[in-house]
């Protein structure tokens, strides 16, 4: 049976501990601020204005026009015109450019005499994601340019007013301006909750063991359930405050607005936070050492919620085994809810399975915690 006064007593003790250790508390609030600022302001996975250097051996009106078009596109930025390939590859070596375009001699002449004329592009592939996107841009740019040349050719052949037969009208849904921020800023809430919820709580039972106060607690008329709930409550409120800070900052500073219901968000955050707390407490009572608990929390909560949750790293690209692992990472479900609430404007009708899975996770973890402490003699 849970005795409310006992819970209150444990909560008060843990709360004093939190208040007295002012800096941990202050960091628990500063961390979300830092992360939101970093992700919202500084970090982006989108590629535009790729630093490009050109070597134009041909130097005709046609080649200059090509380069002008390249520079005019939002995807490329011509950083320098260089006299030879050697100078350009030095740029690549020193990391001052990502892309080198080399226009060979007689390029224009070949095209004008209706031949296929090669254009050399050198791409720094060390960052594969960047390089992949850039390669796509270059290919798309060239094929559009070719289409223009084809239409010009047909018009020259006396067929006037030829239009391209099909026009691909590309629209983007859910994140209309293709800004990674619109998804990353809400997604970071999943990481923040894990850090605050699981990392902080992972220390609190271990601390009792390290200081030897666990024995005292065992001798008190306190049940395992009361102990766990009492310990978790202060951190629950810290975590929930962090969620509110994050929602507010995302909206005020970066205009990332929730499309769906605010209360669904609070509900999802509370469940997910409860999972995080239960996980943290579990790690804490298993390891019984603060250092180990902290390492365990980094490995079991922080890294998976960042890496294995479809947050910034697409699950679809992972090996099958890891794809299976993502199903037991709580953040996977929370991220799914976040993208539903923030971008897709979905309601409970679509999202209920994710809510349910998180509730089940919480129940299992809570039961494990209870059994573990019972066995310890609490």
Size of the residue set binding another protein (CB under 8 A): 116
Say whether residue 285 binds another protein (CB under 8 A).
Answer: no
In angstroms, what is the minimal distance from the CB of 197 to another protein?
A: 13
160 binds another protein (CB under 8 A): no
Shortest CB 66 distance to another protein, Å: 8
In 3-state terms, what secondary structure has residue 103? strand
Q: What residues pair up with 76 in beta bridges, in sequence order?
A: 50
> What is d(CA 370, CA 224) in angstroms, rounded to the nearest whole number?
6
* Residue of 2, 4, 19, 45 that binds another protein (CB under 8 A): 45
Q: Please, what is the minimum distance in Å from the beta carbon of residue 267 to another protein?
A: 20
Q: Could you say whether residue 316 binds another protein (CB under 8 A)? A: yes
* Block residue for tokens 């030829």: 162
Q: Which is nearer to another protein, 168 or 221 (CB)?
A: 168
The C-alpha atoms of residue 106 and residue 56 are separated, in whole angstroms, by 11
Site string for another protein, 195-234 (x = CB under 8 A): x---xx--x---x---------------------------
Region from 148-156, 212-220, 244-252, 365-373 binding another protein, contact rule CB under 8 A:
148-156
Q: Running DSSP on this structure, what letter comes out for residue 104?
A: P
How far is the first Cα of the chain from the last one, in angstroms, to the nearest whole number? Answer: 13
Q: Which stretch binds another protein (CB under 8 A): 151-159, 227-235, 264-272, 360-368?
A: 151-159
Q: Is the dihedral of CA 79, 91, 125, 100 positive or negative?
A: positive
CB closer to another protein out of 315 and 366: 315
| DSSP 8-state symbol, 114 | T
Q: Does 320 bind another protein (CB under 8 A)?
A: no
Site for another protein, residues 14 to 43, rule: CB under 8 A: 21, 23-24, 27-28, 30-31, 34-35, 38-39, 41-43
Cβ–Cβ < 8 Å for 198, 283 = yes
- 233, 263 contact by CB (below 8 A): no
Rg (Cα) of the chain, in Å, rounded? 29
Nearer to another protein, 61 or 317 (CB): 317
Q: How far is CA 93 from CA 97, 98, 99, 121, in A?
A: 8, 9, 11, 15
If one asks whether residue 356 binds another protein (CB under 8 A), the answer comes out as no
Residue 366 binds to another protein (criterion: CB under 8 A): no
Q: Smaller CB distance to another protein: residue 5 or 23?
A: 23
Say if CB 364 and CB 279 are below 8 A apart. Answer: no
User: At its nearest, how many Å lie between another protein and the CB of residue 204?
Assistant: 8
Task: Report the nearest approach of another protein to the CB of residue 4 (Å).
Answer: 28
| Among 4, 253, 291, 367, interactor with another protein by CB under 8 A | 291
**Which residue's structure tokens are 């090669």?**
118
DSSP conformation class of 315: G
Smallest Cα–Cα separation from 63: which of 74, 52, 75, 55? 55
For the window 161-200, what string marks contact with another protein as x by the rule CB under 8 A? -xxxxxxxxxxxxxxx-xxx-xx-----------x---xx
Q: Which two tokens stand for residue 243?
A: 């969620």
Asked if 241 is part of the footprint of another protein (rule: CB under 8 A), the reply reads no
**How many residues can be counted in the chain?**
378
Q: Which residues contact 323 (CB under 8 A, 6 or more apart)?
A: 315, 316
Looking at residues 85 to 144 of the shown chain, list those that interact with another protein (rule: CB under 8 A).
92-95, 110-133, 135-140, 142-144
243 binds another protein (CB under 8 A): no
């Amino acid at each position: 049976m849970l005795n409310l006064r006992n819970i209150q007593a444990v909560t008060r003790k843990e709360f004093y501990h939190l208040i007295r250790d002012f800096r941990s508390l202050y960091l628990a609030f500063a961390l979300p601020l830092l992360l939101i600022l970093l992700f919202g302001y500084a970090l982006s996975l989108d590629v535009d204005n790729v630093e490009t250097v050109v070597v134009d051996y041909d130097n005709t009106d046609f080649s200059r026009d090509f380069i002008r078009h390249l520079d005019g596109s939002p995807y490329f930025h011509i950083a320098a015109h260089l006299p030879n390939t050697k100078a350009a590859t030095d740029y690549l070596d020193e990391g001052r450019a990502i892309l080198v375009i080399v226009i060979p001699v007689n390029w224009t002449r070949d095209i004008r005499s209706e031949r296929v004329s090669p254009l050399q592009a050198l791409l720094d592939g060390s960052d594969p994601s960047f390089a992949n996107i850039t390669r796509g841009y270059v290919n798309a740019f060239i094929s559009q340019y070719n289409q223009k040349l084809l239409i010009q050719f047909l018009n020259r052949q006396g067929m006037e007013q030829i239009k391209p037969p099909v026009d691909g009208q590309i629209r983007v849904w859910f994140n209309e301006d293709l800004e990674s921020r619109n998804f990353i800023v809400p997604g970071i809430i999943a990481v923040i909750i894990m850090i605050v919820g699981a990392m902080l709580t992972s220390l609190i039972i271990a601390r009792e063991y390290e200081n030897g106060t666990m024995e005292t607690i065992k001798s008190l008329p306190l049940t395992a359930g009361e102990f766990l709930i009492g310990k978790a409550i202060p951190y629950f409120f810290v975590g929930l405050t962090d969620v509110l800070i994050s929602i507010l900052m995302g909206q005020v500073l970066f205009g990332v607005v929730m499309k769906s219901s605010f209360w669904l968000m609070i509900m999802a955050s509370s469940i997910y936070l409860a999972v995080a707390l239960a996980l943290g407490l579990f790690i804490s009572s298993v390891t019984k050492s603060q250092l180990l608990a902290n390492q365990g929390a980094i490995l079991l909560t922080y890294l998976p919620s960042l890496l294995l949750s479809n947050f910034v790293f697409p699950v679809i690209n992972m090996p099958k085994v890891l794809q299976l692992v993502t199903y037991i990472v709580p953040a996977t479900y929370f991220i799914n809810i976040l993208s539903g609430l923030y971008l897709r404007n979905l309601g409970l009708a679509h999202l209920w399975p994710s809510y349910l899975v998180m509730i089940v996770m919480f129940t299992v973890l809570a039961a494990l915690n209870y059994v573990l402490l019972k066995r310890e003699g609490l």
